[in-house]
Amino acid sequence: MLLLECSPEVGSLKHLLETGTSVNAPPDPCEQSPVHLAAGGGLACFLLWQLQTGADLNQQDVLGETPLHKAAKVGSLECLSLLVASDVQIDLCNKNGQTAEDLAWSCGFPECAKFLTRIKCMQTVRSSERCERDHGVPVLRQKRSFGSAESANGKRRC
């Protein structure tokens, strides 16, 4: 706990929680809510608590950054995972036109960037399937080949 007390984000977050700040209220001149501070500090436990209390995951600060942007900038895969599991909009851009994925790449966090890329692709596929189902319009799909599921003797491989 001593290490956490040294973090400016934790100090700010602790102060906000002690004073009873609203979960979605912008607490400072930068319009960063407690969920921005938790994500930007890589503090998954505080972030989870904020998510459970109804925090606005897509709230943008003065830079146009959401909590997802903040987590991407510090390379917190754990915070990114929590936000994505809570159905955050991953395609929102900050005032410089950057998504969280862009920030992860530019800040040197390729694992986070690749994670966000995979999520974006999965959401695109789901959206296409929903469009096909709702409107009866077939979506062209490329057949994937990862090798035969059966070996030469006809038995399935694990």
Sorted by where each starts, the structural domains of the chain and their CATH numbers stand as 7-135 (1.25.40.20)
DSSP letter for 64, please.
Answer: S
Q: What is the pLDDT of residue 40?
A: 94
Tens digit of each residue's pLDDT (9 = 90 or more) over 52-90:
888 899 999 999 999 999 999 999 999 999 999 998 999
Tens digit of each residue's pLDDT (9 = 90 or more) over 117-129:
999 999 888 777 7
Question: What number is the average pLDDT over the span 104-112?
Answer: 97
Three-state secondary structure call for residue 150? strand
For 122, the token pair is 């999965």
For 155, the token pair is 């038995």
Q: What is the pLDDT of residue 158?
A: 40
Are 77 and 112 within 8 A, CB to CB? yes
Residues 157 and 151: their CA atoms lie apart, in Å, by 7
Q: What is the pLDDT of residue 148?
A: 41
Q: Is the pLDDT of residue 18 over 90?
A: no
Length of the chain: 158
Sign of CA dihedral 131, 136, 139, 143: positive
Which of 81, 51, 7 is closest to 15 using CA atoms?
A: 7
Q: Is the pLDDT of residue 150 over 90?
A: no
Question: What number is the average pLDDT over the span 138-158?
Answer: 46
Question: What number is the average pLDDT over the span 106-131?
Answer: 89
Residues 101 and 69: their CA atoms lie apart, in Å, by 8
